[in-house]
């Protein structure tokens, strides 16, 4: 994988994952002063906008990395990072679908359903990508270290 591809992926993951964690904190842990408020924090619209605008970059990055990285590693039976890679594959599709569903669903019960699916699979994604990156850093360093 080229350095540019890696850094685009890192930036997309950091931006979308970071803004998602900020939104998680704002929505689930902050209580608005006004019980009729739509947002729980004045900065919530900014973080939601950033999250939504950067999500397509992450989606494209996932698709590209599947073609250029994951599939070739899978076919080559590379063992390092396989478990975290599978976790990423399992969580990616429901994370993406639920993210788009949240933008179009109006019914409160369906929004709640998709919100929980999106939150759960996104947390799995963030954990998986963090472990996956660490594993690949360790593998790459061990290859570069002279014996």
Amino acid 135: pLDDT: 78
What's the token pair of residue 127? 């954990």
State the number of CA atoms in the 13 A half-sphere of 127 facing the CB.
Answer: 11
- Where in the sequence is the domain holding 22, given as residue range(s)? 3-144
Neighbours of 36 (CB within 10 A): 5
Per-residue pLDDT band for 89 (boundaries 50, 70, 90) equals confident
For 14-67, the pLDDT digits (tens) are 999 999 999 999 999 999 888 888 899 999 999 999 999 999 999 999 998 888
Amino acid 138: pLDDT: 76
Sign, CA dihedral 77-83-84-90, equals positive
The pTM of this model reads 0.82
- Spatial separation of the C-alpha atoms in residues 89 and 91, rounded to whole Å: 6
* Total domains, the chain: 1
């Amino acid at each position: 994988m080229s350095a540019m591809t890696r850094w685009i992926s890192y930036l997309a993951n950091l931006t979308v994952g970071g803004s998602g964690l900020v939104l998680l904190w704002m929505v689930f842990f902050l209580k608005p002063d006004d019980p009729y408020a739509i947002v729980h924090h004045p900065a919530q619209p900014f973080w939601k906008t950033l999250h939504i605008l950067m999500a397509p970059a992450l989606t494209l990055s996932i698709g590209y990395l599947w073609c250029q990285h994951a599939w070739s590693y899978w076919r080559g039976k590379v063992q390092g990072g396989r478990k975290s890679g599978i976790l990423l594959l399992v969580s990616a599709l429901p994370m993406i679908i639920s993210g788009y569903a949240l933008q179009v669903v109006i019914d409160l019960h369906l929004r709640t359903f998709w919100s929980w699916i999106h939150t759960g699979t996104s947390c799995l994604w963030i954990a998986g990508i963090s472990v996956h990156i660490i594993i690949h850093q360790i593998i790459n360093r061990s290859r570069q270290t002279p014996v």
